């Protein structure tokens, strides 16, 4: 059965390339990025899948007056299984803007096939996996195989800018339950051997230090915001790493990280003591550490510098997301994905965590175990983005085996 399944998926390669090429040709950029949303791409997917015999999708629109037709559509195609347990494969339709077109060798919204690659914006992120999930289901249909689970192919909006109109909207609609098996194929590596089950909390903080601007020849008349900002940045770096030394080996790096990053320009000339400094920290914190505890350390260091340097320090969060508990490494969704990967690639995958946020977080927030996996080249959001055709076929094989799995 497995050989027939794999041969059928390989036979579908021209159709897979055609569908992916069509998706590339329909920009689905958020209104926040200067686009009109996913309406046309969703219509194209719905029409394509109806022609393939999957019927009409369930459509869950999220209202957005700035988008085409005033909505951000989300599609769900359901394929009945032997049991009522649901397997969700959740990919997203939206893409990021093309950026500087001068850096592209081809039109970013016109698919170009060269060798075993398909070039175009969104080819890698996330249309490769969308197409893989479609043709995994198509192969089962072609061979008249009934999946073990009810398979729910879910194509969502708005992933690139926060998922408010996508996954988070569907969760509010009550589509998912704690017994669901969820895979979000929107992150992985070139080999395909990494299953993401956890992520760190994210806390981006912008600090503003306000002193008193004066002539640099008479610094005693003012309060040097630059010096205070320098001292505060170093103090935060030291204090945060000292307060939170814990490690968790499923992450790389294993410890929480607290990185001083952006520094805004201050005065344009050398002979002026700055009265205002703005700088940022990017904190990636192990999920067992409450971000409130991190902020207690931050507040303590701020009090010290304010008293020492006669400045005022305020801050705002550019992003603050407490990570949920990891998906258990022995959960069923991890096991069926691991088994499918072993069958397709003939190697043992490893599980782990990432420092960045993924939309699987929103499922984990609800107590739904979710995994992130795909086989992809590291070209998302880059000029000359591409999808590897062989990766796409491999993913379809993995998804098809997951649909049939009896574990």
Confidence (pLDDT) at 55 = 97
Confidence (pLDDT) at 357 = 80
Q: For residues 162 and 58, is the Cβ–Cβ distance under 8 A?
A: no
| pLDDT tens profile 268-287 | 999 999 999 999 999 999 99
| pLDDT tens profile 230-282 | 999 999 999 999 999 999 999 999 999 999 999 999 999 999 999 999 999 99
Instruction: Return phi, psi of residue 121, to 5°.
Output: -65, 130
Confidence (pLDDT) at 302 = 98
| Distance from C-alpha of 364 to C-alpha of 122, rounded to nearest angstrom | 26
Predicted structure pTM score? 0.90
| pLDDT tens profile 310-325 | 999 999 999 999 999 9
Domain annotation for the chain: domains and CATH numbers:
2-198+324-404 (3.40.630.10), 201-321 (3.30.70.360)
Please report the DSSP string for 308-346 in residue order.
Answer: HHT-EEEEEEEEEEPPPPPPPTTSHHHHHHHHHHHHHHS
- pLDDT surpasses 80 at 90: yes
Confidence (pLDDT) at 228 = 98
Q: For the residues 190-217, what does the mean pLDDT come to?
A: 97
| pLDDT tens profile 49-81 | 999 999 999 999 999 999 999 999 999 999 999
Q: For the residues 141-158, what does the mean pLDDT come to?
A: 97
Confidence (pLDDT) at 407 = 52
Confidence (pLDDT) at 385 = 98
**Closest to 344 (Cα-Cα) out of 302, 400, 407, 269:** 400
The mean predicted confidence, pLDDT, of the chain is 97
Confidence (pLDDT) at 350 = 96
Q: For residues 32 and 158, is the Cβ–Cβ distance under 8 A?
A: no
Confidence (pLDDT) at 406 = 57
Please confirm whether the linkage preceding 114 is cis (ω < 30° from 0). no
| Distance from C-alpha of 5 to C-alpha of 340, rounded to nearest angstrom | 13
- pLDDT surpasses 80 at 292: yes
Pure H helices in 143-258: 167-172, 225-243
Please report the DSSP string for 23-75 in residue order.
Answer: HHTS--B-GGGTS--SHHHHHHHHHHHHHTT--PPEE--EE-TTSGGGEE--E
Q: For the residues 152-167, what does the mean pLDDT come to?
A: 96
Confidence (pLDDT) at 395 = 98
Query: What is the end-to-end Cα distance of the chain in Å, rounded?
Result: 17
Tell me the C-alpha to C-alpha distance, in Å, between residue 151 and each of 13, 77, 93, 136, 180: 22, 8, 19, 11, 10
**Closest to 188 (Cα-Cα) out of 41, 385, 402, 375:** 375
The DSSP call for residue 146 is P
Instruction: Name the E strands within 104-254.
Output: 112-114, 117-119, 150-156, 181-184, 194-199, 201-210, 214-215
- pLDDT surpasses 60 at 373: yes
Active site positions, annotated: 94, 159
| pLDDT tens profile 329-370 | 999 999 999 999 999 999 999 999 999 788 899 999 999 999
Percent of the chain predicted with pLDDT > 70: 100
Q: Answer with the residue of higher pLDDT: 222 or 358.
A: 222
- pLDDT surpasses 80 at 161: yes
- The contacts found for 238-247 with CB under 8 angstroms, 24 or more apart, are 239/297, 239/300, 239/301, 240/283, 240/294, 240/297, 240/298, 243/293, 243/294, 243/297, 244/285, 244/286, 244/289, 244/293, 244/294, 246/286, 246/288, 246/289, 247/286
Confidence (pLDDT) at 1 = 85
Confidence (pLDDT) at 359 = 87
| pLDDT tens profile 46-57 | 999 999 999 999
Rg of the chain over all Cα atoms, to the nearest angstrom: 24
Confidence (pLDDT) at 255 = 97
| pLDDT tens profile 129-143 | 999 999 999 999 999
- pLDDT surpasses 80 at 148: yes
């Amino acid at each position: 059965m497995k050989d027939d399944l794999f041969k059928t998926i390989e036979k579908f390669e021209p159709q897979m390339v055609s569908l992916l090429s069509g998706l590339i040709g329909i920009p689905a950029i958020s209104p926040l990025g200067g686009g009109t949303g996913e309406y046309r791409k969703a219509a194209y997917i719905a029409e394509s899948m109806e022609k393939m015999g999957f019927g009409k999708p369930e459509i869950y629109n999220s209202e957005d007056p700035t988008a085409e037709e005033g909505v951000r559509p989300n599609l769900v195609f359901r394929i009945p299984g032997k049991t009522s347990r649901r397997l969700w494969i959740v990919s997203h339709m939206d893409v990021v803007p093309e950026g500087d077109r001068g850096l592209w060798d081809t039109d970013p919204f016109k698919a170009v096939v060269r060798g075993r690659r398909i070039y175009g914006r969104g080819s890698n992120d996330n249309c490769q996996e969308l197409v893989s999930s479609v043709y995994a289901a198509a192969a089962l249909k072609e061979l008249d195989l009934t999946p073990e689970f009810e398979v729910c192919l879910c194509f969502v909006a708005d992933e690139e800018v926060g998922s408010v109109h996508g996954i988070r909207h569907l969760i509010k609609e009550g589509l998912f339950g704690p017994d669901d098996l969820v895979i979000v194929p929107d992150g992985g590596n070139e080999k395909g051997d990494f299953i993401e089950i956890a992520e760190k909390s994210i806390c981006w903080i912008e600090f503003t230090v306000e002193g008193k601007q004066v002539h640099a020849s008479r610094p005693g008349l003012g309060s040097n915001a630059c010096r205070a900002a320098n001292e505060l940045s170093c103090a935060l770096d030291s204090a945060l790493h000292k307060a939170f030394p814990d490690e968790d080996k499923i992450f790389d790096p294993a410890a929480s990280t607290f990185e001083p990053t952006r520094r805004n320009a201050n005065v344009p000339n050398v002979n002026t003591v700055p009265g205002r400094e703005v700088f940022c920290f990017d904190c990636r914190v192990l999920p067992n550490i409450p971000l409130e505890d991190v902020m207690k350390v931050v507040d303590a260091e701020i009090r010290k510098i304010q008293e020492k340097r006669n400045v005022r320090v305020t801050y705002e969060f550019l992003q603050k997301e407490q990570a949920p508990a990891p998906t258990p490494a022995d959960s069923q969704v991890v096991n069926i994905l691991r088994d499918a990967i072993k069958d397709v690639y003939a190697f043992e995958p490893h599980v782990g965590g990432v420092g960045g946020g993924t939309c699987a977080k929103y499922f984990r927030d609800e107590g739904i175990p979710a995994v992130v996996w795909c086989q992809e080249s590291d070209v998302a959001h880059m000029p000359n983005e591409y999808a590897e055709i062989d990766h796409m076929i491999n993913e379809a094989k993995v998804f098809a085996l997951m649909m049939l799995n009896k574990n």
